[in-house]
Structure 1
Amino acid sequence: MKLSKEFKIGIITILTLVGFFILFNFLKGQNIFSSGRLFTVKYENVNGLAPSKPVSVNGLRVGQVKEIKIIDTAKPIYFEVVISVEKDIEFSKKTVAEIYEPGIMSGPEIRLVLDYSTDIAKSGDYLTGRIAGGLFDGITKQLSPTQAKLDSVLLSVNQTLGGVNNILDPSTQRDIKLMLRNLNHTIDSFDKTAQSLTATSNSANRLIASNEKTLTSTLNNANATLASTKTTIDKFGKTADKINELQLDQIVKNFENSSKNLNTLLEDINNGKGSLGKLAKDEGIANELEATIKNMNALVEDLKKNPSRYVNISVFGKKQPVQQ
């Protein structure tokens, strides 16, 4: 049978549309040849989730988001998300369908946090939904302590600057200016003193340079005098050593003889020998000596009281009779 040209064109057009439809759904991530098991998940916020987004288990894609329906008859409203699971994976009704963001550039997706209890989930069942913290939420949580510390540091800096502003009031500023002015005067005084010391040092250097020969000669003479003095002292020391060596024994011997003679004299006096011994031992001589001393004392007293008895006094060349 011969096909007409129009029929061929229609067949080609239908095949093209079917191919385009299959390609379009394939690019959207939908598999029109396998519907898989369908599950419904309730969310209060889909967080930007869109149909055809992947559904994964432990990082492996096992299905996709089929439909998102808004339930606006309830207060508050919520969303019902229909997902398909194409892989033959068994899990319980307690499995959680979690919306998360796998990366910065990709949008929100759904991952199944599987539960393996006995109540196996079947197509058409409801699963529990939740929203995981996004990538930026984790970064924000990590940066929160740092931000708190930074806020504390900034607060301390503000307080410090406030304290500095309070310290630098007009009166304090005047005092600081006065102190700086006095410091400048002090520095000028130090500068003048340094200049004076420099001039004095220059004068001393010129004086030393002009009298260098005299100072050199004086130092040479002093060195010669010290050398001569040292020689004299050395000679005197040697002479003293010789005198000590020669005369020390003789001095010791003389001291021993004198000590012996003194001991002999003391023994003679103690034994009543000689004049001193008799005087010390003879009580009569001692008594007579004591009486003589007493008479001499009486005579001296009488001489003091009556000097005219013993001395003639001449007045104008005449002698006065001595009173008896």
Structure 2
Amino acid sequence: MNQIIRIGIDTSKYILVLHGVDAAEQVVLRKKLSRKQVLEFFAKLPPTVIGMEACGASQHWARELSKLGHEVKLMAPQLVKPYVMRNKNDGRDAEGLCEAMSRRSMRFVPVKTAEQQAALMLMGVRDGLIVRRTQLTNTIRGHAAEYGLIAPKGLDAIEPLLARIAQDETLPALARELFVVLGRERARLEGELKAVEAKLMAWHRGDATGRRLAEIPSVGPIVATALVMKTPDPHAFRSGRHFAAWLGLTPKDHSTAGRTRLGKITRAGDEDLRRLLVIGATAVIQQARRGRGHHSRWLLALIQRKPPKLAAVALANKVARIAWKLMATGESYDVARMNPIPAT
């Protein structure tokens, strides 16, 4: 068999499908392997370049195959799709991966170390706990409303609501018991969330880049930590605009015949990171609209002529560019360059 220069691997839970080509771009490998056979097969293979989709378990396989001397390239699924021929199947997917990784314009996802993967888990676990807390809070509110008991907005109103329920003798005993169960579950979630956030803050305090990013208005410890954890090498982006485009904070371009047609933002890239940036920008805009704090002339003019949500996305775009600059150059945020003036 000729020397294999590229192998595309279509991964799944149990079976991995391989497609390899030689220097003449001739197919020299088509093979199906079980999970147990993968490492044994590649241990006997001379070092080569391997391409996979950046999907579930891809980081694990990338680390394991790299230990065997192979170069592993991960690609976003949406970038691989154009190279998959019709009549999709596992073999065609592997062939498309093998072809996509050969393109000079292809952008690759960096392989994370086990420690980096563990740090990313902090963000994922925190988000999951917040979702479960919100679901449980809404459940408590919904059941309480059926007995005519309502509470103001906010998480702080739930404990007083549960206390009122516990003291209300007009409620059935079974209902009060079930509210106690819900209250215990909510307290447990709160404790776990605080523990995870404490670990997240400890990680943030130990990271110099994250501390510098947190100096940017609208970027607190959570957003700064997410930027550090989820952003690949900032030098891979030619400019802050490319970084903002990677985050999906730039308009869709559907221009033709010399006409420029820009639409809504692309929403490409990491959804959670984009969401955090927009939420932070929204908080800053709310403060500016209420006349609190010092803000740039650009922002004050923006919120005068644009709707709040559009202004929030524009500010998130600007913050993303500033964040890229700080990550790429190692500089600190210079508030004087923003020309801040008091909000009125």
TM-score by length of 1: 0.19
Structure whose CA Rg is larger: 1
TM-score by length of 2: 0.18
Structure of higher RCO (CA pairs closer than 8 Å, 6+ residues apart): 2
